[in-house]
């Protein structure tokens, strides 16, 4: 495997521009100060963490996500290219979903195979021919990005349903400003705390045309037992809107109301943190008690906006992912600014042949899999595992894609043995309103705390970092 690109230090030992001030600070700060601040951060986070997880029970502490005190830094130039790419990609996602549920030109043009849509379990026939407010579907997207070298960012995954993690982005910044005010004096870090304002403006812009000029927005949560409940209440709090559960809403004459102390109050925009399957027992899973009976009917009548729209899952699985460059070209007539990780679609004979010949160096993933299940990591697999996947691939090639093992970039991270490089990824959040696209500079950086590990997932020992975008002079 190639040596990973380090975001702070060049191969010749010189420091990259973005990190000049940070590197100087890191070399001056006594290790015990760093250690002290780390403990302080841990203490504060435990307190907040207590609000995260206390909830559940005594394993609260295990459920804290580790926070690394060394920020990850991007220059304004890097960010502006990245954000143009994110905006372009999100636009394409929206146009693609609209097309899939209406004219299906991209299918007829033979660019995306039909079965990827029709046989996709999250394709929602209920959305066929339905108009959604402002023709927008993915209002809040989390686009996972990894970096390979100084110039190359790859999109690893599009999250077009209910991406989470933004509360960590905001809390991480909050805690960094508290612990290291001197660093913020030396670096011109673009703020992220306006995320809530941007989100609210986005949500309001998406209200149905029938709504008043000051539309009523709510956040819909599955309730206190959901693992992301803290984020739901955090967001409602920052937005200054009601955090509702399904039972707080009811539908009358296709209009959504919430039950308030002053009687029914009309709701225009629902930022729902509830999967399609659960939002309306009359339309989807009849056993769901989390949703609102009749919500889909109100939605179809155009009386309420759901963010994200119903059926967006059809755009974010791994098979569709491999077509994203074509999707961008098809709808926008532009070259994609952000690259995809090179992906072999095993459904195509020549790709399959290549994959079968090179299994030992590829990562093979199930099209609908997530969380690292049903995955083969070629370089780390033994013969038996490789043969097992060879058989699976031959039997059902449509169900798999393959990618090279990537050398994700590393960032300096404060670990047991001191400051050491660790692999990172980035999830920026892209807000698409009817007026414009808004992207707060930064996002959630996840870091694999184990040396050499590429797994940034919090369930497997991943942590998070504050992400800085430096403002240009």
- Which residue ranges make up the site for other proteins (CB under 8 A)? 50-51, 54-55, 223-224, 229, 233, 236-237, 242-245, 247-248, 258-262
Q: Which is nearer to other proteins, 165 or 246 (CB)?
A: 246
Given the complex with other proteins, which of 101 and 229 has the nearer CB atom? 229
Distance CA(431)–CA(202), nearest Å, equals 7
**Helix, strand, coil tally for the chain in percent (to 5):** 40, 25, 35
User: With respect to other proteins, which residue has the nearer C-beta, 233 or 453?
Assistant: 233
Q: What b/e string do you get for 236-269 counting C-beta neighbours within 10 Å, with b at 16 or more? A: bebbebbbbbbebbbbeeebbbbeeeeeeebbbb
Q: Say if CB 91 and CB 324 are below 8 A apart.
A: no
| Cα–Cα distance measured from residue 134 to residue 154, given in angstroms and rounded to the nearest whole number | 30
C-alpha–C-alpha distance, residues 17 and 14, integer Å: 9
Residues forming beta bridges with residue 342, ordered by sequence position: none
Write down the least CB distance from residue 248 to other proteins, Å: 5
Nearest approach in angstroms of CB 224 to other proteins is: 5
Of 246 and 313, nearer to other proteins (C-beta) is: 246
Residue 264: its H or E element: strand 263-266
State the minimum distance, in angstroms, from the CB of residue 62 to other proteins: 16
How would you classify the pairing of strands 140-147 and 67-74? unpaired
Nearer to other proteins by Cβ, of 23 and 60: the residue is 60
Least CB distance to other proteins at residue 42 (A): 18
Q: Which is nearer to other proteins, 55 or 184 (CB)?
A: 55
Q: How far is the CB of 260 from other proteins (least distance, A)?
A: 6
> Which CB sits closer to other proteins, 265 or 368?
265
Strands 153-159 and 375-377: unpaired
The residue to which tokens 């739901």 are assigned: 232
Query: What distance in Å separates the CA atoms of residue 138 and residue 125, rounded to the nearest whole number?
Result: 18
Write down the least CB distance from residue 243 to other proteins, Å.
Answer: 5
- To the nearest whole angstrom, how small is the minimum distance from the Cβ of residue 213 to other proteins? 22
How remote is the C-alpha of 301 from its chain's centroid?
30
Helix then strand count (H, E) for the chain reads 15, 21
């Amino acid at each position: 495997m190639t040596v990973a690109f380090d975001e702070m230090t060049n191969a010749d030992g010189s420091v990259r521009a973005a990190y000049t001030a940070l590197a100087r600070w890191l070399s001056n700060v006594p290790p015990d100060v760093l250690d002290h601040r780390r403990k302080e951060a841990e203490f504060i986070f435990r307190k907040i963490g207590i609000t995260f997880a206390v909830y559940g029970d005594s394993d609260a502490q295990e459920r804290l996500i580790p926070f690394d005190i060394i920020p990850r830094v991007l220059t304004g130039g890097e960010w502006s290219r990245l954000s143009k790419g994110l905006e372009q990609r999100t636009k394409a996602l929206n146009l693609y979903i609209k097309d899939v549920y209406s004219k299906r030109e991209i299918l007829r043009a033979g660019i995306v195979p039909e079965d990827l849509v029709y046989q996709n379990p999250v394709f929602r026939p209920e959305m066929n021919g339905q108009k959604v407010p402002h023709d927008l579907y993915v209002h809040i997207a989390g686009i996972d990005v990894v970096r390979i070298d100084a110039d190359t960012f790859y999109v690893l995954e599009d999250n077009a349903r209910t991406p989470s993690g933004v509360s960590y982005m905001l809390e991480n910044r909050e805690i960094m400003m508290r612990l290291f005010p001197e660093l913020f004096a030396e670096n011109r870090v673009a703020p992220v705390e306006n995320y809530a304002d941007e989100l609210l403006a986005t949500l309001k812009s998406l209200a149905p045309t029938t709504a008043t000029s000051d539309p009523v927005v709510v956040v819909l949560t599955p309730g206190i037992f959901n693992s992301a409940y803290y984020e739901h209440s955090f967001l409602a709090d920052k937005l200054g809107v009601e955090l509702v559960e399904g039972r707080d809403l009811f539908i009358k004459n296709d209009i959504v109301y919430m039950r308030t102390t002053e009687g029914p109050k009309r709701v225009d925009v629902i930022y729902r943190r509830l999967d399609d399957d659960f939002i309306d027992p009359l339309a989807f899973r009849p056993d769901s008690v989390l949703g609102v009976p009749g919500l889909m009917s109100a939605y179809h009548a155009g009386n309420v906006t759901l963010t994200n729209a119903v059926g967006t899952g059809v755009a974010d699985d791994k098979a569709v992912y491999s077509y994203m460059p074509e999707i961008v070209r098809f709808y926008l007539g532009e070259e994609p600014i952000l690259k995809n990780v090179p992906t072999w679609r095993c459904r195509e004979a020549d790709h399959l042949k290549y994959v079968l010949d090179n299994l030992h160096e590829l990562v093979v993933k199930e099209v609908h899999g997530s969380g690292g299940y049903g995955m083969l990591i070629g370089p780390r697999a033994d013969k038996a595992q490789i043969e097992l996947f060879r058989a699976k691939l031959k039997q059902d090639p449509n169900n798999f894609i393959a990618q090279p093992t990537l050398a994700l970039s590393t960032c300096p991270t404060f670990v047991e043995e001191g400051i050491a490089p660790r692999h990172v990824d980035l999830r920026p959040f892209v807000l698409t309103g009817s007026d414009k696209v808004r992207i707060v500079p930064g996002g959630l950086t996840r870091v694999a705390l184990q040396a050499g590990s590429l797994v940034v997932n919090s369930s497997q020992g991943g942590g998070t970092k504050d992400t800085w975008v430096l403002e240009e002079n």
